[in-house]
Structure 1
Amino acid sequence: MILLVLGLPQVMEPARLWALLAIPALVLMYLWALQHRSRSGIRFTNTGILGAVLRPQSQWKRHVAVAMALCSLAAVSFAWARPMGIERVPRERATIVVAIDNSLSMSATDVDPNRLAAAKTQAASFIDSLPAGFNVAVVTVSANPRVVMPASTDRATTKRAVSAIGTEQGTAIGDAITLSLQAIKQAPGGGAQGQVPAAVVLLSDGGNTDGSDPMNAANAAAAAKVPVYTIAFGTQTGFVDVDGARERVAPDTRLLGQIAERTRAKAWTAESAGDLKEVYQDVHRSVGYEEVKKEVTSRWAFYSLGFAIVAGLGVVSMATRWP
């Protein structure tokens, strides 16, 4: 029963599981011994003196000790057969597209020193945190989105591309998502759909002004099983000065949230550069790991040791008559 709770694993050497046949044989021997013992009489006439000398032993201690010994035998048998388990390990291959909004509204200074500068700093930090085998592409989000860095594992060149991004007119979020999907397809090993895990990190203050409908692009991303994580950058009080006129540029959290929801991703708001570190780390955790089969012999050896310790305590308890 306890081993069923632990979960019986697949094993690399199933032929070695023959050792488990000893368990039912030992159970039958134990039941036979209990039955034979109950039929044996006590060869001591003065039972009152015997009761004063020997305290009655609890039957449950004996049963628990035997059960734990059998569980220990079963666990060590599984360990010998080299069991396999599931473990989360960093993916060696994936493609991440970092889409950075470089529209004029990103020059707002409600995030120090300004939205775009803070975004580029945190994007570079995020790129450094990714496994070496990840491909990273960089796309700008303006009226005319561009792939300023195709998917590559060259971190130095990728960060230089991020650093060189400057502000431009307009915001075409839908076109930027479409361009990001194209960059994923063009990534090494990305020709076959679903062959390499991929995700888009869209860092924007929203407010789509140009290009195609962002939700149509989100539908295409959902169909391709590419999550689009969105970060609404800036505060509700942000503003920019354009041609001598002050314009308010609050982030469009509603649109960005809808894009993330449609693609089965997450949407965040980041009101300061410090918040972005946690946001990017969460994206890394979401797309950076996979479940793989791995040998877990040591785990089952540990189970066997635990059962053996409990069985040993039971035997010692009966031998010394404590408690």
Structure 2
Amino acid sequence: MTLLSPIWLWLLVPVALLALGYVLMSVRRSAYAVRFTNLDLLDKVAPKRPQWRRHVPAGALLAMFALLVVGFARPTAEVRVPRERATIMVAFDVSASMGATDVAPDRFTAARAAAREFVRGLPERFNLGLVTFSSEASVAVPPTTDRQAVFNALDRLTTSSGTAIGDAVYSSLEAIAGVDSEAEPPPAHIVLLSDGSNTTGRGIREAAERASSRGVPVTTIAYGTPGGTVELQGNQVPVPVDGPALRELAGAAGGGFYEAASGDELQAVYEDIGTSVGYRTERQEIWMWFVAAGLVAALLAAVGSMFWFSRLP
């Protein structure tokens, strides 16, 4: 938290002096009461009550003064603000290795279910597109606010051979370029899920440089386990997840890197990504929070004083 007008904090000095004066008066009052020799009569005149009660209204009043002073100092903080608009491209690996059963019931089925939940969680005003890739990449759904079109495309997905991660980034950027034709294009983000290495098409580094030059972050999800296998022509072929390649892509393109070894982990990853792309962080003044807290403290002081002492502080 930072303060735009810290000079107002000097007003905390009289507040501190007021608090010190209250403490000294309380000590003096206690000392005077002890000098009252007839304790039985004192108990009748001033029945014993919990000591903390008489300090609550004063403490709340002092807290109000302090909170209002900090409010005048115009504090600011980093606040998450929902984005008004954005374009999200989901790049989905449909290579044959996605049929591996190291993730129940298999990588492909679990990933498709998680992608559907991710789509549901995005704000309706966001443009959302879908790119699928195996040996080549294609735009299954251009950026649109029509969520049903994305759901239908996810339902139609089938697996094929090859993994063209670099081409998937290029196809996503081309789809985003259509939205960027607007006078003020919304911010864009690519979320790419894959379980394997880049085996064909453009390279990872080339794709990362293109995304970085366009100012489009690429967040990657390495999906699967090191021991995954898939049956191809009657043989069990190892298909370990290639985390380093996807980490390199995300790091060079200014995005985040995630790993998911199960359907539940993938769901959590998508939720986290949805939160990050759906909001932006900006510095805002939060003086109203302190003023509101000060008014609550004043109300507590008034209620406590009226309830216990039948008077206002």
Q: Which AA in structure 2 matches 1:178?
A: Y
Asked if 1:229 corresponds to 2:225, the answer is no
Q: CA deviation at 1:203?
A: 0.8
- 1:138-153 to structure 2, matched below 5 A, reads 138-153=130-145
Pick the aligned partner of 1:211 from 201, 214, 222: 201
Are the structure 2 counterparts of residues 219 and 72 from structure 1 closer, same or farther at C-alpha, using a change threshold of 3 Å? closer
Partner SS for 2:137: coil
TM-score, structure 1 normalization: 0.69
% identical equivalent positions: 37
CA distance in 1, matches of 2:114, 2:60: 58
Equivalent residue for 2:288? 297
Equivalent residue for 1:254? 244
Partner SS for 1:147: strand
CA distance in 2, matches of 1:309, 1:175: 63
Partner SS for 2:297: helix
Equivalent residue for 2:160? 168
Kept after mapping to 1: 8 A contact 2:2/2:76: no
CA offsets, 1:149-181, max 9 Å, x none? 000111111111111111122111111101111
Equivalent residue for 1:114? 106
Equivalent residue for 2:40? none
Q: Which AA in structure 2 matches 1:106?
A: M
TM-score, structure 2 normalization: 0.71
Q: CA deviation at 1:52?
A: 5.6
CA distance in 2, matches of 1:68, 1:121: 51
CA offsets, 1:196-241, max 9 Å, x none? 2221111111211110111110111122222211111221121122
- 1:271-290 to structure 2, matched below 5 A, reads 271-290=261-280
Q: CA deviation at 1:244?
A: 2.8
CA distance in 2, matches of 1:273, 1:96: 22
Kept after mapping to 1: 8 A contact 2:60/2:301: yes
Q: Which AA in structure 1 matches 2:244?
A: R
Q: Which AA in structure 2 matches 1:218?
A: A
CA distance in 1, matches of 2:198, 2:77: 47
Q: CA deviation at 1:286?
A: 1.4
Q: CA deviation at 1:307?
A: 7.1
Kept after mapping to 2: 8 A contact 1:100/1:138: yes
CA distance in 2, matches of 1:223, 1:192: 19
Kept after mapping to 2: 8 A contact 1:142/1:169: yes
CA distance in 2, matches of 1:290, 1:208: 31
Q: CA deviation at 1:297?
A: 3.5
Kept after mapping to 1: 8 A contact 2:85/2:125: yes
Asked if 1:196 corresponds to 2:196, the answer is no
Partner SS for 1:146: strand
Q: Which AA in structure 1 matches 2:260?
A: A
Kept after mapping to 2: 8 A contact 1:69/1:311: no
Kept after mapping to 2: 8 A contact 1:65/1:310: yes
Q: CA deviation at 1:264?
A: 2.5
Kept after mapping to 1: 8 A contact 2:92/2:192: yes
CA offsets, 1:245-301, max 9 Å, x none? 331111111101111111222222211111111000111121111246588636413
Equivalent residue for 2:125? 133
Kept after mapping to 1: 8 A contact 2:135/2:164: yes
CA distance in 2, matches of 1:129, 1:118: 17
CA distance in 2, matches of 1:266, 1:226: 12
Q: Which AA in structure 2 matches 1:278?
A: A
Equivalent residue for 2:26? none
Q: CA deviation at 1:183?
A: 1.3
CA distance in 2, matches of 1:182, 1:236: 33
CA offsets, 1:21-77, max 9 Å, x none? xx79xx7xx99xx9xxxxxxxxxxxxxx9x967xxxxxxx9xx999767546646x8
Q: How many residues align?
A: 272
Q: CA deviation at 1:309?
A: 6.5
Are the structure 2 counterparts of residues 132 and 68 from structure 1 closer, same or farther at C-alpha, using a change threshold of 3 Å? closer
Give ranges in structure 2 of 5+ residues lacking alignment.
Answer: 22-31, 37-54, 305-313
Kept after mapping to 1: 8 A contact 2:224/2:240: yes
Partner SS for 1:280: helix
Kept after mapping to 2: 8 A contact 1:102/1:167: yes
Q: Which AA in structure 1 matches 2:94?
A: N
CA distance in 2, matches of 1:301, 1:216: 52
Equivalent residue for 1:157? 149
